[in-house]
Chains A and B, each alone.
Chain A
Amino acid sequence: MPMEYLIPSTKDEAVSMLDKYGEAAVIIAGGVFFTPHKEELFSEAEVLIDIGKLGLSYINADEKGLKIGATTSLTSLMTSKVINKGVYRVLAETVEQIPIQRIRDMGTVGGEVCMSAETDLPISLMALDAKVVLSSTKSRIMSLDEFYTGYLSTALEPNEMVTEVQLPLFPPKTGAGFCKFERGTVDLPIVNAAARVTLGADGKCSAAKVVLGCVTFPPVIADNAAKLLIGKNLDEKIIESAAETAADMECITDIRASGELRQTWIKVAVRKALNKAYEQAKGGK
């Protein structure tokens, strides 16, 4: 099928192209996901819209938090001074676990978010209560927690594109951690988990969030585990029981691992993520 290649120079132009072509259009930034999956997932595509020239590569901090442009490369995210400070550092640590520099250079934040929740960055972004800006003729902002609807599926409408990821500010003494298990570096993870905790003046946990990826679809926000932590001193025992609570769920069995193995690894991943988050929160100002 012939395919057209379009290079909009403004966001409005890109949005009107999307409006015109809808499902026939594929948005391209880095191309990491598109090229190898063209036959499998994009065989119906008629138009490629290259959003590389829309000026969406930025990381801006303001009084409300952080705004990250959709075409910001994973390398820029990993090396950004703003990201490597405080609780946001978990994002740099998550990207660091992609061991291939070329993928980090080409891959974009918007791409990771849109590709699916089965990668790592969305899980860490969810732990940080990220929101996505979905641009169309009528733009909307959606919590990333609601954005993922199932396996390789999101709430993105055919005439919408992700243009920005927004992160809120967090109180002092907040930390976040990420941990994953995978078969190989180029495969999807078997289990990934991210956690965020805030400590109150008394040193006890005042807020917590635990997110699990790849264990079922869409990702799971383990509220039961988070609730267990609130108002407690985060010692080894309480972290262990939160990890066990998080693992108490039905997991998928697929070519990568059985549901039982996933349950075992959720425990380890949540424990490690929580420990990292706690360590960071303790050291935080």
Chain B
Amino acid sequence: MAVAIRLIVNGEEHKVEVEPWWSLAYVLREKLALTGTKIMCNNGACGSCTVLIDGQPVSSCLKLAVLAEGKNIITVEGLGNTETGELHPLQETFIKYSGLQCGTCTPGMLLTAKALLDKNPAPTEDEVREALAGNLCRCGTYKRIVKCVLIAAETMRGGK
């Protein structure tokens, strides 16, 4: 039996009819057409479906959409400035320093990194690695990803 829920995604309120067993990732992609959120392993292991719920990184493939009722959700589409199209410093850095190869893990990496930098604007390399521990990159670009997060952190702190 479908349940009507309210989701606030990237600042925009959506009313969606969902089946109780639908994952948030499925609803975001198939019902709200926000395909930036990637479904890879579909069991919480890879982190590519990471979105932020009330600022916390969450595996949206595990999260039932009904359990996200009324919550503030940020997907990769809402990471930059949605009005001006300006990218988030993390996105800028990932592009500039090639923090990706195939790009499938990127949305999850960006959002997990954003959650880290929101809490800890000056993380050490170990802290970045720890935070990204649940995000797998099948191309193995970890070194550059970590570097990008550190550079973006510096930029956001007002460095170069």
Residues on A facing B (Cβ under 8 Å): 2-5, 28, 30-32, 34-36, 38, 48, 50, 52, 99-103, 105-106, 185-186
Q: Judging by beta carbons under 8 Å apart, are B67 and A52 in contact?
A: yes
Q: Once A and B bind, how many residue pairs between them come within 8 Å at the CB atom?
A: 79
Measured CB to CB, the nearest residue on chain B to A35 is B62
Measured CB to CB, the nearest residue on chain A to B133 is A99
Chain A nearest Cβ from B102, distance in angstroms: 21
Q: Judging by beta carbons under 8 Å apart, are B1 and A103 in contact?
A: no
Q: Judging by beta carbons under 8 Å apart, are B23 and A102 in contact?
A: no
Which residues does chain A contribute within 8 Å of B134, judged by CB atoms?
99-103
**How many residues on chain B are close to A (CB under 8 Å)?**
26
The CA of A51 and the CA of B12, in the complex, are separated in Å by 28
Measured CB to CB, the nearest residue on chain A to B43 is A36
Give 9 new A-B contacts, CB below 8 A, not counting A2-B19, A102-B57, A106-B62: A5-B1, A28-B64, A32-B44, A100-B59, A102-B44, A102-B47, A103-B44, A105-B56, A186-B43
Q: Judging by beta carbons under 8 Å apart, are A28 and B133 in contact?
A: no
Interface centre among A3, A38, A52, A185, by most B CB within 10 Å? Answer: A3
The CA of A102 and the CA of B67, in the complex, are separated in Å by 15
Chain A nearest Cβ from B123, distance in angstroms: 14
Q: Judging by beta carbons under 8 Å apart, are B62 and A31 in contact?
A: yes
**Contact check: which of B20, B58, B131 meets A3 at CB < 8 Å?**
B20
Measured CB to CB, the nearest residue on chain A to B3 is A5
Which residues does chain A contribute within 8 Å of B72, judged by CB atoms?
none
Q: Judging by beta carbons under 8 Å apart, are B58 and A36 in contact?
A: no
**Contact check: which of A28, A36, A103, A185 meets B67 at CB < 8 Å?**
A28
Measured CB to CB, the nearest residue on chain A to B67 is A31
